[in-house]
Structure 1
Amino acid sequence: MSGQRYEKYSDEHFLTKTALNLGQMILFKRINDLKKYIIDSREANTTIGFVPTMGALHAGHLSLIRASKNSGYLTVCSIFVNPTQFNDPSDYQQYPITIEQDIRLLEQENCDVLFMPDVQEIYPPDHQKKQYRLGQLELYLEGKYRPGHFQGVCEVVDRLLDIVEPDLLFLGRKDYQQCMVIAELIRLTGKSTRLEIVPTMREPGGLAMSSRNLRLSEADRKRAIAIYQTLQKIKTVIRPGEINQLSKEASATLLEAGFSKVDYVSIAHAHSLAPVEYWDGKTPLVALAAAFLSGVRLIDNISLTED
């Protein structure tokens, strides 16, 4: 392995390397190299924490790295923009790529291992596509507006978990439905990995941190705060009884705030995501929203009841 830093390589040279020693963090591009490293680590009774990402890292991602490191685990982060979870090809093409910055941020957090495979490594010619029986969970909300999205998420996470075999998987609460889907994936596949969900990190004003925020102008970032404020208002005013109107009012509020389109504002059962029209005052609830601002699709959620 080379001891030189990533920035010292041209892209052409870098792509010939399957593993680089970046100071204390090691970067792997090949599954076999990573698996050998993990096997060697297991022999020392090491506990492994895993943070899967698509790059364009921000403080929310880094909070997951920190959660793993603070628990004393050998921490593996992956960067892989997964094509199978994008139902809109243009969204995949526009996904921000900031590799050099990502590596610097991971080094600052003392991440131990970065796995950065290409598409052919994750999906070789003999890769067998599976169908995951997620039931109603994949039909609500994101599943409704992004058909096939969660099948793609399960496909890549299943693959990554088989490669890394982590003891713990760290995910952010911002992607609430995705956390539920991956919990179901772990149950369906019988994997021994334990899921740890870390609270949503927010920018000043409340905007949930997201790689997609990089595509927002400064003015749009200020407008985008409305999505969080609108969900907070639901939490403030919700009372037992009919609650349908709250979602409709919230959608109208977002459009008035400058959002071009609202896919949904939903008040749902916190454990199943089934929509709740009449609240008994006891059922655990979560409010979730997805809306477009200047062509960028933003999502957020907050708990309406005690977790």
Structure 2
Amino acid sequence: MTYVIHTRDELAGVTKRAVTRAVVMTMGALHEGHRQLMREARRRGDEVIVTIFVNPLQFGPNEDFDKYPRTLEADIEACRAEGVDVVFAPARDEVYPGGPPSITMNAGPLGEILEGASRPGHFAGMLTVVHKLLMLTRPDLAFFGEKDFQQLALIRRMAVDLELGVEIVGVPTVREPDGLAMSSRNRYLSPDERQAALALSRALREGATHTEAEAALTAARKILADEPGVRVDYLALTGADLGAPAAGPARLLVAARVGATRLIDNVPLTLEKAA
């Protein structure tokens, strides 16, 4: 049975004790990528909680908070199908009972690059709500997708630096059959825009075939430059922890606008030579 609850008091009343609790945090509009997170949580946890909350703190003034898709009934059905124990779908006043918090998380230097440079304040808002939801749900395990790789890295850092006592588990990106990374924002794309958006995953795949940093970036840039429907925000090669790339595991990351929709994606690769 899946309990659907909306308040802190209800959450305290339905969660069990002396079990391995796993949480999946979402903003709703659930797709196969979210369902894969639920399956991993179900595989490792005795009790699975999915949170559904569109967090206003992580949207900038010109971003899509008001039009972000809200599909709660369909989301609940997806959670039931995956055997989720508890869906926690609070209202804004339940998460921020005193209005916008006067104290928020500081994402530090790692939060100022890539997405942080393009979306000032985004990571402070994201980390604030993640911290609050971790405190409310008290999980042993929390599952996040690798598609939002910088987000995952920051949450891992927060969990370690603040001694939160939770294991942050990254789950590989789930893709459409044509390679497009699954995202709630994909529904904004027109058919032509969706076709153009395939250049992101195609560029990353090509870049990941190279073992030298500049060759990987050059190969990816060429594919992106050949697609006029894609406006690149950034293409970056980093270490696996988002630091400077070095020989060994690395990440190739991209953000771009296709029409009015901003998309992100990334792939792992292995470098033999950093530069």
Name the TM-score, length of structure 2 as normaliser: 0.92
Contact 2:104 2:125 in 1 (8 A): no
Show CA shifts across 1:168-221 (max 9, x none). Answer: 001111111000010111123211111111111000121111101111123322
1:289 aligns with 2:254: yes
Q: Provide closer, same or farther for how the CA distance between residues 305 and 245 of structure 1 changes in structure 2, counting only shifts above 3 A.
A: closer
Match of residue 25 from structure 1 = 2
Q: Provide closer, same or farther for how the CA distance between residues 126 and 233 of structure 1 changes in structure 2, counting only shifts above 3 A.
A: closer
Show CA shifts across 1:250-274 (max 9, x none). Answer: 3453243133421100011111x23
Match of residue 54 from structure 2 = 81
Match of residue 203 from structure 1 = 176
Offset, 1:34: 0.4
Offset, 1:222: 2.3
Show CA shifts across 1:115-166 (max 9, x none). Answer: 0001111011176433434332111100110111100001100110010001
Paired with 1:133 and 1:305, the residues of 2 have a C-alpha distance of 31
Judge which range, 189-198 or 248-257, deviates more: 248-257
Runs of 4+ in 1 over 4 A off after TM superposition: none
Residue aligned with 1:166, SS:
coil
Paired with 2:83 and 2:44, the residues of 1 have a C-alpha distance of 13
Paired with 1:119 and 1:255, the residues of 2 have a C-alpha distance of 41
Match of residue 264 from structure 1 = 234
Residue aligned with 2:69, SS:
coil
Unaligned ranges ≥5, structure 1 = 1-23
1:141 aligns with 2:110: no
Show CA shifts across 1:224-261 (max 9, x none). Answer: 1110110111112342xxx4475366345324313342
Offset, 1:26: 0.6
Match of residue 136 from structure 2 = 163
Judge which range, 248-257 or 174-183, deviates more: 248-257
Match of residue 225 from structure 1 = 198
Match of residue 92 from structure 2 = 119
1:5-154 matches, cutoff 5 A: 24-38=1-15, 41-42=16-17, 45-125=18-98, 128-154=101-127
Paired with 1:170 and 1:132, the residues of 2 have a C-alpha distance of 20
Unaligned ranges ≥5, structure 2 = none
Greater Rg over alpha carbons, structure = 1
1:194 aligns with 2:159: no
Contact 1:140 1:274 in 2 (8 A): no
Alignment RMSD (CA, Å): 1.9
**Paired positions, count:** 271
Q: Provide closer, same or farther for how the CA distance between residues 189 and 168 of structure 1 changes in structure 2, counting only shifts above 3 A.
A: same
- Amino acid of the structure 2 residue aligned with 1:284: P
Offset, 1:72: 4.3
Contact 1:134 1:184 in 2 (8 A): no
Name the TM-score, length of structure 1 as normaliser: 0.83
Contact 2:197 2:230 in 1 (8 A): no
Q: Identity, % of aligned pairs?
A: 37
Q: Provide closer, same or farther for how the CA distance between residues 177 and 162 of structure 1 changes in structure 2, counting only shifts above 3 A.
A: same
Match of residue 263 from structure 2 = 298
